[in-house]
Amino acid sequence: MLRLSDTLRRNLLTQPETGMGYQRVDATLRDNKTERGLVFNAELLVLDGEAQATRRSYPYNDPYSILLKSAPQSGVEIRALRVLPREGVAFRGLETKALEKKAGSAKDAATEKTKADEVFKRFSAFPNDHRVNADGSLSPGSYATTEEDAKNVKTGSDAVARYALPNSDPASYRFTIKPNKDTEIQYGTVEAANGQPGGGVEVIFTTGTQAKTVTGPDKIPDK
Amino acid sequence: MRIKLDKRWSKLLRELPESGMGYQRVDVRLVDGRELKNVVVLNAEELEAPNDFALTEIKDVSLHKP
């Protein structure tokens, strides 16, 4: 967690928000590596890779003003920040109007149909995920994410943060879902909750998926 | 404190929609009249109850309505 310099702050203020009060960014670090994160109020940067304990402290345990005061200055640690385009958050390359529609959570979105060969991922802290049925189907009302969004998740802890999961145990079991064409689905963006920043794409299979559409899980690193 | 739910409740929850990936927010009514509101159940079987909560027999579990 870093407090941004005035220069970085001014730069962010010229760029659009990703959601109310925050921007999803790629930060270029001192060693020229890039790390994704969230900037709150154009001033407080929380990188995706930060310890869960740090991430959980915002905004529930400590008032924002105290966090901001205690956060070290970004100084030379951050060379540059680039706000991800909204397409980078919702990913599907849809027209602007459709993207705006998906800015909220999936449960509030209109029901759509999946396209042929679309792939989704589901992260779970449990290898015996009870939403995955013995016949390889997914129960109605189950959540998942797009294959594209899942590429941002390298560890089980990433999944907890990105999908704002209430269980802090790493969701390191990754299931793959390949539903039939025209399966009912709702798309949305995960809102900050449970002390986690959210920001990932979420989908709900409102009527579940068909038999033999779920495989896995494969195990990704916890941290 | 995590409490493993009886199979009966787990079966019921598996048939109800999730609140997010891998969890449901539920209200729990106990036979002694107490209620737990808006608590998390993981994987349709692990109830996250307050640490000081002594769980007696569950009378009903329903999805929490915000």
- Kindly list the domain boundaries of chain B, sorted by start residue: 2-63
Q: Are residues A64 and A96 part of one domain?
A: no
Q: Are residues A79 and A98 part of one domain?
A: no
Residues of chain B that touch chain A, judged by Cβ-Cβ distance less than 8 Å: 10, 14-18, 20-23, 40, 42-45, 48
Please report the pLDDT score of residue A114 as a whole number.
Answer: 95
CA distance A23 to chain B (A): 22
Q: How many CB atoms lie within 10 A of CB A217?
A: 20
Does pTM surpass 0.80? no
- Average pLDDT over chain A, rounded to an integer: 81
Q: Are residues A95 and A168 part of one domain?
A: yes
Q: Which of A51-55, A66-70, A87-91, A136-140 has the lowest mean pLDDT?
A: A87-91
DSSP assignments along A11-76, one per residue: HHHTS--SBTTEEEEEEEETTS-EEEEEEETTTEEEETTS-HHHHHIIIIIS-HHHHHHHSPB-TT
pLDDT per position as a tens digit, A84-102:
765 434 333 333 333 434 4
Residues of chain B with confidence (pLDDT) below 70:
52
Q: Are residues A179 and A159 part of one domain?
A: yes
Q: Do A143 and B21 touch (CB under 8 A)?
A: yes
Q: Which of A84, A101, A129 is the last residue of a domain?
A: A84
Q: How far apart are the first and last CA of chain A?
A: 18
Q: Which of A84, A111, A128 is the last residue of a domain?
A: A84
Contacts of A139 in chain B (CB under 8 A): 14-15
This model of the complex carries an ipTM of 0.81
State percent of chain A over pLDDT 70: 80
Listed residue (A106, A111, A196) closest to A146, CA to CA: A106
Name the token pair of A155.
């560890």
Q: Are residues A58 and A13 part of one domain?
A: yes
Q: Are residues A192 and A154 part of one domain?
A: yes
Please report the pLDDT score of residue A85 as a whole number.
Answer: 64
For B58, the 3-state DSSP assignment is strand
pLDDT per position as a tens digit, A126-177:
999 999 999 999 999 999 999 999 999 999 999 999 999 988 889 999 999 9
Give the CA diameter of chain B.
Answer: 32
Q: What is the domain extent for residue A125?
A: 90-219
Structural domains counted in chain A: 2
Q: Are residues A79 and A46 part of one domain?
A: yes
Contacts of A164 in chain B (CB under 8 A): 20
Does A67 score more than 60 pLDDT?
yes
DSSP assignments along B5-51, one per residue: PPHHHHHHHHTSPPSBTTEEEEEEEETTS-EEEEEEEETTTEEE--T
C-alpha–C-alpha distance, residues A11 and A158, integer Å:
27
